[in-house]
Chains A and B, each alone.
Chain A
Amino acid sequence: MNLGFLNFYNAVLGVQQQRASLLANNIANADTPGYKAVDVPFESALSSQISDPTSADSAPEYRANVTVALDANDVSLDSERVEAASNGEQMIGAATFLKQSTADLITALRPNPSGN
């Protein structure tokens, strides 16, 4: 039986969780002098997690092409909020798909399809 989808969603949710943490951190440090916003590129972080689920989280990278304020801080509050909201939606989406996949599996495992 191929349960590859479990590894896949494990990796997806792991990367999304790491991103959620980093984005919250960026917003928390929106007024910290010298702080640079960080994020992980979803695609490459996901592929490294899929190829080796036990590997450590991908190293965060600094954002490119951002405006740096006079206090050397480059956090854009608005874009971080948008990223955080869209990451949250993606987490809910991934969880919904995962639930559907496991529900199908459970249905298939039940001796009586009516569920008794």
Chain B
Amino acid sequence: MSGNIYTIAGSALDAQDARMSAIASNLANVDSIAAPGQTPYRAHEVVFEAAPVAGDSADDGLGDTNSPALGVQVAGTVLSNAPLKQQHDPASPDADANGNVTGSNVSQVTQMVDLIDSSNTYAASVAVLQEAGRVDQQMLSSFQVT
């Protein structure tokens, strides 16, 4: 029902927030390198799933069993399998026997595109919240007893 709009949009803001945090972390580590034997940084990718929002069971007695309110939640984070960056730099103290330095597998371009996508969805969810607030306000003033 209507009150769930806020919960649904809120879950979207939470999820996009987690995604943007992951993107920030990835971008911060775009130039991270790993010494031989250490684990290099791999890009974190947040996976979303549709999930019933808290406080709305499939049958809440309101007769809306066909459409339990769904929201979105973070199902987990996976590490990207993209190939690690190898840079030939024999002078580096972190170079391996062949003179290569292993860096992260973060692609700056991919992360920036993801960030734009995420912020678009975030903005849309904020617009939904504003719209719901405006409609509720109009409804209340419509039924104001004068």
Within 8 Å CB of A80, what residues of B?
124
**How far is A71 from B122 in the complex, measured between Cα atoms in Å?**
19
Q: Are B128 and A92 in contact (CB under 8 A)?
A: no
Q: What is the chain A residue whose CB lies nearest that of B139? A: A95
Within 8 Å CB of B49, what residues of A?
32
Within 8 Å CB of A59, what residues of B?
66-67
Q: Are B143 and A99 in contact (CB under 8 A)?
A: yes
Chain B window 59-81, contacts with chain A (Cβ cutoff 8 Å), 1 for yes, 0 for no: 00001111101111000000000
Interface of A is mostly: helix
Q: What is the chain A residue whose CB lies nearest that of B4? A: A21
New A-B pairs, 17, CB < 8 Å, besides A25-B8, A27-B9, A77-B121: A18-B64, A20-B135, A25-B71, A28-B8, A28-B9, A29-B70, A30-B12, A31-B19, A35-B50, A57-B63, A59-B67, A81-B128, A84-B131, A85-B131, A88-B134, A91-B138, A96-B142
Residues of B bordering A, CB below 8 Å: 1-2, 4-5, 8-9, 11-12, 15-16, 19, 47-50, 63-67, 69-72, 117-118, 120-121, 124-125, 127-128, 131-132, 134-135, 138-139, 142-143
